[in-house]
């Protein structure tokens, strides 16, 4: 995403409105790909692949951290592994009812906001 003179801070963090619209349009196509992957590779293989990709993402984050954010190669590898992890997390949402994950996510974000408010009050 290139910076545009009219970009706000939210555009930089979340993506421009055009980017978000394109991403939303891709969700349906992505979902069909996930269904196909499950049919071709099987349920168990996709679960194992999710664990593998999340581990690779964790390792890539640590490698980038060890470079103190200075290595563009580590940053590129981290971005690639985070993409792999996101793809597998989205597939896991098809295995565990997505509303259960969304409920847990909302609970955890509420607790995070409470901790942030506590910190702000100190
Ligand atoms: Mg990977």
pLDDT digits (tens, 9 = 90+) for 51-90: 999 999 999 999 999 998 788 999 999 999 999 999 999 9
Ligand 1 centroid–CA 35 distance in Å is 20
How many Å lie between the centroid of ligand 1 and the Cα of residue 113?
Answer: 31
Q: In which band, very low, low, confident or very high, does the pLDDT at 7 lie, cut at 50, 70 and 90?
A: low
Residue 16 pLDDT: 81
Residue-level pLDDT at 1: 44
Residue 119 pLDDT: 93
- Gap between the Cα atoms of 21 and 15, Å rounded: 10
Query: How far apart are the C-alpha atoms of 54 and 3, rounded to whole Å?
Result: 30
Residue 32 Cα to ligand 1 middle (Å)? 21
When the pLDDT of each residue in the chain is averaged and rounded to a whole number, the result is 89
Cα–Cα distance, 94 to 112 (Å, whole number): 26
Tokens 């974000």 sit at which residue? 109
């Amino acid at each position: 995403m290139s910076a545009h003179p009219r970009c706000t801070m939210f555009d930089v963090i979340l993506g421009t409105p055009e980017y978000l619209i394109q991403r939303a349009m891709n969700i349906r196509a992505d979902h069909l790909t996930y269904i196909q992957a499950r049919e071709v590779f099987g349920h168990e293989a996709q679960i194992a692949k999710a664990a593998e990709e999340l581990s690779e993402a964790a390792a890539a984050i640590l490698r980038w951290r060890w470079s103190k954010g200075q290595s563009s190669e580590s940053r590129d590898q981290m971005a690639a592994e985070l993409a792999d992890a996101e793809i597998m997390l989205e597939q896991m949402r098809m295995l565990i009812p997505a509303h259960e994950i969304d409920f847990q996510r909302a609970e955890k974000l509420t607790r995070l906001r409470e901790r942030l408010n506590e910190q702000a009050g100190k």
